[in-house]
Structure 1
Amino acid sequence: MSKFGKIRVLALGLIRDGERIFVYEGYESVKQETYYRALGGGVDFGETSQAALQREFQEEIQAELTNIKYLGSIENIFTFNDQQGHEIIQTYECDFVDSKFYQLESLIFSESKNHQHKALWVDIAEFKSGKLRLVPGEFLTYL
């Protein structure tokens, strides 16, 4: 979540397995708060958002996606570590090609040399009840 001062275009994939979704866990140090977000990443110039989604999953966790279906767009204006951010998120519903991802409890992946994230399956009820924070909150409308 860097590149403040610009509007970022992202492609994120909501992957469901029954009553749980696959998300990564992040931490906001200023608010001292853990949050969860769907995996995906930035759309490069000249790249479609669906191609970006597939590339990001391949780069981050070496996963291929199938049954990719466009859900909609979310405009997200937020504050993260005391800096304003602005994103246009192209949201997709999709599935993993390899069933091994559904057996995982969690996995660690690196976005860059300094940024490691934990991806895991979380029960949707944890987000709907407000016990855990899914960002952006509009994702809840797709669950």
Structure 2
Amino acid sequence: MQKLPNIRVIVLGLIRSADRIFVSECEDPVKQDTFYRALGGGIEFGEHSIDAVQREFQEEIQAELTNIKYLACLENFFIFNGQAGHELIQLYQCDFVDSKFYQLESLDFADGDGEHTAFWMPIDRFRSGELRLVPEQFIDYCEG
């Protein structure tokens, strides 16, 4: 019997500052496509999603979060690196505890997928279609 791919359950943290959001730059090597995504990651078995968002930011960029507010559950179907994917995303709006994160030009970090860079990007660059934000419905939550 063929094993079916799993649905991945993840958490993402939406952090805004004025007209900007904090996102990670990613690359699909097969499509040779650059896209952007909020920071976050997988929810571990037995872990509450609010705890997962805090853990992921701590692990990836050593940042503590505050003002954490649940926004929505998003469903995302996609193709990445030539493979079909399906994820359920628990989306949280949050802020950094340490104000130094709001002053960063960029921040390099490593996670299970490799090396990444996070930036503050103007929301208008995604809304105009100049840059691609994933999942697509994420943009609906970026208004202040």
TM-score where L is the length of structure 2: 0.94
CA offsets, 1:58-112, max 9 Å, x none?
0000000000000001010111111000100000000000000000000100104
Partner in structure 1 of residue 128 of structure 2: 129
Instruction: Return the alpha-carbon distance in structure 2 between the equivalents of residues 43 and 81 of structure 1.
Output: 22
Partner in structure 1 of residue 48 of structure 2: 48
SS in 1 for 2:40: strand
Post-superposition offset of 1:5: 1.3
Partner in structure 2 of residue 84 of structure 1: 84
- Identity rate of aligned residues, in percent? 63
SS in 2 for 1:134: coil
Partner in structure 2 of residue 110 of structure 1: 110
Post-superposition offset of 1:117: 0.3
Amino acid of the residue matched to residue 140 of structure 2? T
Partner in structure 2 of residue 140 of structure 1: 139
Post-superposition offset of 1:136: 0.4
Amino acid of the residue matched to residue 120 of structure 2? W
Instruction: Return the alpha-carbon distance in structure 1 between the equivalents of residues 11 and 33 of structure 2.
Output: 24
**Alignment length, in residue pairs?**
139
Partner in structure 1 of residue 9 of structure 2: 9
Amino acid of the residue matched to residue 132 of structure 1? L
Partner in structure 1 of residue 26 of structure 2: 26
Amino acid of the residue matched to residue 140 of structure 1? I
Instruction: Return the alpha-carbon distance in structure 1 between the equivalents of residues 74 and 104 of structure 2.
Output: 29
Instruction: Return the alpha-carbon distance in structure 2 between the equivalents of residues 81 and 44 of structure 1.
Output: 23
SS in 1 for 2:15: strand
TM-align CA RMSD: 1.1
Q: Which runs of 5+ in 1 are unaligned?
A: none
**Following superposition, which runs of at least 4 residues in structure 1 exceed 4 angstroms of deviation?**
none
